[in-house]
Amino acid sequence: MLQFIARRILATIPVLIGVTLITFILVNVVPGDPITAMMEKRADPATVAKLRHEYGLDAPLYLQYLRFLGHAVEGDLGKSFRTKQPVTQAIMEHFPATVKLAVSSMLVALILGLAVGIISAVKQYSWFDHGSMILALAGISAPIFWVAIMLQILFGMYWKVLPISGYTGWRSMVLPAVVLGSRYAASIARLTRSSLLETTRQDYVRTARAKGLSERVVIFKHALKNAIIPVVTVIGLQIGGLLTGAILTESVFGIPGLGRLAIDAINHRDFPLIQGTVLFTAVIYVLSNLVVDISYAYLDPRIRLE
């Protein structure tokens, strides 16, 4: 197990380098000067040249990139052009809001998705099965900003039971969690249903039923554990996406998370902040995938990671 983890961590190094390189190229090919954007109308050639030298933007691109990599290895992601705040500090200040949104959304997604998927598989072709799968398809297809606005109008403006924006407490997280969690719940429900239906047709499940075991024991003790493996893969990727910031949800509800931080950095061409948030996002995705791979061995002992 330790050898597998070590190999996976080593394999992520070129992935992270590739992510930083692509991000660096993209932010530098986009037209516009970050120093001019930062100074707005106060910019004059002498001051712009002085600031470009101060931030190292007058150096060749390859030197800028190597300098960024060297500092990143030491844990220094630079300072924001706009706020002069260390990028690492800015990310850590915005990350807790994203974590709260991610955890609450994933709880909604897991409870709804697994429950609906299991019931739909057990009651295949029933009215519940057809209705839930139609709702799941609608949940996946509906634009997330439209769902968010509809819930804001309904619960915030019409019934006035929940705040429609801001970050003031647990009540302000209810609507964002429902909006984001229901979208992920739809994909979890569909995948849980299809995977469980396929698993219940296996010989060992038929044998368990032939022994006279109750349907509940057959489903939850024998079938679900193997059926959940592909679902865990999707959940792991979803957690990575949630932890790195749901941009639209955070923007609509005014949550100061990583998504809004990244959008502000892009709008102001804040190179260090853009590169820092992208690198942090990539690390979260890598760690999420590693946890998912390790969990396979515990869910199915037949899987050997070494």
> Is 16 inside any structural domain?
no
Q: What is the pLDDT of residues 185-202, one digit of tens each?
A: 988 999 999 999 988 888
Residue 261 pLDDT greater than 90, yes or no:
no
Cα–Cα dist 6/54, whole Å: 39
Cα–Cα dist 121/179, whole Å: 25
Instruction: For the chain, give the percent of residues with pLDDT over 70.
Output: 93
> Is 139 inside any structural domain?
yes
* Lowest mean pLDDT across 94-108, 137-151, 257-271, 282-296: 282-296
DSSP string, 78-99: -B-TTT--BHHHHHHHHHHHHH
Q: Which domain holds residue 180?
A: 95-200+227-270
> Is 294 inside any structural domain?
no
DSSP string, 233-269: HHHHHHHHHHHT--HHHHHHHT--SHHHHHHHHHHTT
Residue 305 pLDDT greater than 60, yes or no:
no
Cα–Cα dist 206/185, whole Å: 29
Cα–Cα dist 144/248, whole Å: 7
Give the largest Cα separation in the chain, rounded: 86
Whole-number pLDDT of residue 301: 62
Cα–Cα dist 204/223, whole Å: 9
Residue reference for tokens 């006279």: 212
Residue 74 pLDDT greater than 70, yes or no:
yes
- The helix/strand/coil state of 152 is helix
Whole-number pLDDT of residue 90: 92
What is the average per-residue pLDDT within 240-260? 79
Whole-number pLDDT of residue 43: 65
- CA distances to 107, 220, 250, 253, 263 from 172, rounded to whole Å, are 16, 35, 11, 9, 21
Residues 6+ away with beta carbon under 8 Å from 102: 239, 242, 243, 246
Instruction: Give CA 19 to chain center in angstroms.
Output: 16
- pLDDT level of residue 300 (50, 70, 90 thresholds): low
Based on the structure, what is the number of domains in the chain? 1
> Is 123 inside any structural domain?
yes
> Is 43 inside any structural domain?
no
> Is 275 inside any structural domain?
no
Cα–Cα dist 297/303, whole Å: 5
Q: What is the pLDDT of residues 110-125, one digit of tens each?
A: 999 999 999 999 888 8
Q: In the structure encoding, which two tokens stand for residue 80, read together? A: 């924001």
> Is 46 inside any structural domain?
no
What is the average per-residue pLDDT within 15-23? 87
> Is 282 inside any structural domain?
no
Q: Considering only CA atoms, which of 63, 90, 60, 87 is closest in space to residue 75?
A: 87
